[in-house]
Copies of this chain bind each other. A is one copy, B any other.
Amino acid sequence: MSTKSTKRAGTPVGERWTEIASADLREAGYRSSKRRAAVIELLASQACVLSAAEMSELLRERGTPVGIATIYRTLELLAQRGLVHRLEMGTDPARFEAAMPTGENHHHHVVCNRCGEVTPFVDPDLERAIGKLEKRLDHSIGAHEVVLRGGCPDCMGAR
């Protein structure tokens, strides 16, 4: 009951997402390729957000170097199809993460003001409030983002 629900977030979407994303692209008429598959697999294996540069680095380490332009192109493609979410982190490069089209891994983030660490969390009350809010606004709402900023446990005390 006092279990932190942050535990539920931050889990890699894994193989299921890999398959969903691959199938989605295939059905939409895109070709499959080694590099694209490598990017998808990398995204699926990550518990947290990554910048394009970090992906480039990791892909090289994994033995499948992919040009940064291709990484950006792949991310844009996946983001358009709702399979990837792009998070803007202030002045820093954007970070990306896999998203289930069903919304089943839906979550938000806490960012440390000091070290920049990004921690995912889920909160049903928050989602409920946003759900009610959507009905009240004139806008139709397709997505929402919540970012909390503060000191992470390690940096706590400093500002």
Query: Which of A's residues lie within 8 Å of B, judged by CB?
Result: 4-6, 86, 88-90, 110, 112-113, 119, 121, 123, 125-126, 128-130, 132-134, 136-153, 156, 159
* Cα(A112)–Cα(B89), bound, Å: 20
Q: How far is the CA of A143 from the CA of B148 in the complex (A)?
A: 6
Apart from the given pairs A86-B90, A110-B139, A112-B139, 19 other A-B contacts in the complex at a CB distance below 8 Å = A6-B138, A88-B88, A88-B90, A123-B129, A125-B133, A128-B129, A134-B150, A137-B148, A138-B152, A139-B151, A139-B156, A141-B149, A143-B150, A144-B146, A144-B148, A144-B149, A145-B146, A145-B149, A146-B146
Interface of A is mostly: mixed
Copies in the complex: 2
**Residue in A119, A123, A139, A141 whose Cβ sees the most chain B Cβ within 10 Å:** A139
- Pull 29 A–B residue pairs with CB atoms less than 8 Å apart, ordered by A: A4-B136, A4-B137, A4-B138, A6-B137, A6-B138, A86-B90, A88-B89, A88-B90, A110-B141, A119-B139, A121-B133, A121-B137, A123-B129, A125-B129, A125-B132, A125-B133, A126-B129, A126-B130, A130-B146, A138-B152, A139-B150, A139-B156, A142-B159, A143-B148, A143-B150, A144-B147, A144-B148, A144-B149, A145-B146
